[in-house]
Amino acid sequence: MKQQSLKTPLVLVNLKCYTESIGNGAHRIARAAREVIDESGVTIALAPLYTDIHPINHHYDIPVFAQHVDPVDPGAHTGRMPLAAIKSAGAIGSLVNHSEYRLNVADIEKNVSALKGAGLLSCVCSNNVATTAALAALNPDYVAIEPPELIGGKISVSEANPEIITGSVDVVRKISPAVKVLTGAGIHSGKCVKTAVDLGTDGVLLASSVVKAEDPAAVLRDLVSLL
């Protein structure tokens, strides 16, 4: 099955489960993203709650990732989210192993393999260079490096710990050059994004700076302004 692809640099916004990103809030952010995509030509993708995957994909024609997928086949798995369900809803891929939803290595590998087999993208989250090396060996489409202590803060990883970015980029290039590297945690400005890209990444993964903004379009414009 033909694999999806996205133009880099990529700005991937994880909507998480904030009040501001549920239902109408998700539409508010999607409208802003669509506006900034049209203005700038930069690729912006969203990772909303499951219930908002189809509406965002259908109404705004924005690349949509699931926030998680369960490594199970359709069947008697009450409460789980099989890959077939996110694909049916219009997702082009899924986050895997986010710091707020850690998985064991076997399930990470199973998810990456299943997503690839279905022609969907995998964005596997990592928290340090050693973990990034192990995850790159699984050949996901993206590895997103996010030190947990910086997530949700105002100090970006590109400012606080640029070595973790350059180290991750170097190790991924050596192990699996086709894997793209994103960076996240504390990303809140165009300068943060530009620094991350200058350090060798293919884009950023972020959340609260957009989701909690009074004017998400203004924040998104700033994030892509130096690309």
Q: Which of 20, 68, 109, 146 is catalytic?
A: 146
The answer to whether 146 is a known catalytic residue is yes
The answer to whether 100 is a known catalytic residue is no
Strands (E), 9-68: 10-14, 43-47, 65-66
Q: How far apart are CA 136 and CA 146, in angstroms?
A: 15
CB neighbour burial string for 9-22, b if at least 16 within 10 angstroms, e if fewer: bbbbbbbbebebbe
The length of the chain in residues reads 227
Q: Which residues pair with 181 in a beta bridge?
A: 143
Q: Which of 20, 98, 109, 188 is catalytic?
A: 98
Question: Residue 221 is encoded by which pair of tokens?
Answer: 């414009």
Candidates 48, 43, 42; CA nearest to 30 is 48
| CB of 144 closer than 8 Å to CB of 205 | yes
CB neighbour burial string for 166-187, b if at least 16 within 10 angstroms, e if fewer: ebbbebbeebbeebbbbbbbbb
Query: Which residues does the annotation mark as catalytic?
Result: 98, 146
